[in-house]
Each structure stands twice: as structure tokens, then as C-alpha cells.
Amino acid sequence: MFEIEGLFMNDLSVSHLNAVRSLANYLDEILAEKLTADALFFMQSKIYEIQDAGAQALTNSAMQDRKFDCKKGCDSCCYATHVDITPAEAFYLADYIRREHELQNDEYFSIPPRLNKMAACPLLKEGVCSAYEARPLSCRYILSTDIASCLKRLETLTGGAKLPAPFSHFRSSIAVASFIVFRKRRLDARWLVLDKTIELIVNDESALANWISGKSMDNKMMAEQPAGKFEEMIVEVEKLV
């Protein structure tokens, strides 16, 4: 079993790579031989359990000398140029929206375009995330230790929330592990943009089956793919047995 502490590292050391490999192996076992929607959703729910356990570990640990400022009703981090999401997260989120919300309510899915300015995430309703239980890693890892820095980012479009650095590494480690599992199955493993992706897949019942069969996601959904360390970590972990 993987050690959560190992996932907080950011140095591509043997222990870090092994921790990510162990997590990838754990996720791989969940998906087993035949990838099904149920297995994928179960894997994604486990990923969120791990992410939330990591947040709790960080809160309890000496890595943090200040308390998190985040609370319900504070929505400044939901204003952004975009939110990155993995393919599995996108399908998990679309499934949640289909089950929890009235599909006939077109307004719910009227997604405003985000250009270069920060706009509210389309899932933000009256200051609260309407898909909180299914929100992606990109939202879960934003735990601010200074609410003033979040508000300043919103007002000036500069800077960002003050996050404990290890938590950002933790999110990358988890994402790398899931991308390794997708790549092993020759699935399209690229970062997507939440709003465009949800708009395109939420009413498309064949989208998940197509992805599982190895078809590429629509390029309109693609986020800018991270270069450098993220890809390097995937390659290094893939070399481990």
C-alpha cells in the first residue's frame, strides 16, 4: 500500500517515485482487467478519499504553521480562466450532474465562455459549488492559508491563493498516478478544461464508452498540457516495475 506522506514530495527521489508507483498500482488493481464505468467511478471516488485524507494529514502535520482560511460561501477560487480536469474526473462529474440536477434545465448548462479573464465556474450556483462532492482535484487542492491573497487575486487578476506547497505536489502525484493508469490502457490521457468538457459530454451518452474504447477526446476540450516535471514524473514512474 502507498504511503500518503511520500506523495507530498516533489523531488523525483526514489521514495517519491515509489510512492506514486504504489498509488498507480492501487488504482490499476481497482480497474482490473476490464475497464467499466462502475470501476472507473469507484477508482475516482477512491482518489478523492485519498486527496481528502491528504488534506487532513496536512492539517494535522507540522508542515503547516497556519490554519486554512477556506469555508463554505467563500467562492473566490471558483473564478478562474479555466479549471483543469482529468478525463476520469470529467466523466465522474458529468455522471454526478446527471443524477443530481434537472437535465431539462438548460440554464444549468449554459456555459459562459471564458477567455482570458476570470469568470465564475458554471457549476458555481449562488456562491456554492453545485457539484461539491464530485469537484475535481484542481478544486480540492486549493486550501488557502490566507483569504486576503485569494481576494486580491480576484480584484487585481494577479497572484494567487496562498497554498502550502506540499499540497500542490500531492495533487500532482495523484494526477500522475491516474494518468499512468490511463496510459497503460492506451486511453486518451490529457488534461481537459472543465466547462467545455462538461458541456460536451453531459448529454452525450456515448462519450464515456468512446473514451474507454480508446477514442480521443474532442480537441475542443483540451487544456494546455503541462510540460516539464509533470511529464518527466510520468516517464520516470513508468520505468519502475
Can residue 187 be called a binding residue for ligand SF4 (CB under 6 A)?
A: no
- Contacting residue, 131, 174, 233, 234, with ligand SF4 by CB under 6 A: 131
Only one residue has cell 483543469, namely 84
Distances (CA, A) of 122 to 83, 109, 162, 225: 11, 7, 24, 22
- 121: contact with ligand SF4 by CB under 6 A: yes
- Burial annotation 116-150 (CB, 10 A radius, 16+ → b, else e): eeebebbbbeeeebbbeebbbbbbbbbbbbebebb
Question: Using CB under 6 A as the criterion, what x/- string covers residues 77-96 for binding ligand SF4?
Answer: -x----x-------------
Q: Which is nearer to ligand SF4, 135 or 171 (CB)?
A: 135
- Residue nearer to ligand SF4 on the CB measure, 139 or 208: 139
Q: Kindly state whether residue 55 participates in binding ligand SF4, applying the rule CB under 6 A.
A: no
Q: Examine residue 223 and tell whether it contacts ligand SF4 (CB under 6 A).
A: no
Residue 109 backbone zone (phi > 0: left; psi -120 to 50: alpha; other: beta): alpha
Q: Which three cell numbers stand for residue 124?
A: 458555481
Shortest distance in whole angstroms from residue 202 CB to ligand SF4: 13
Binding site for ligand SF4 (CB under 6 A): 78, 83, 121, 123-124, 129, 131, 135, 139
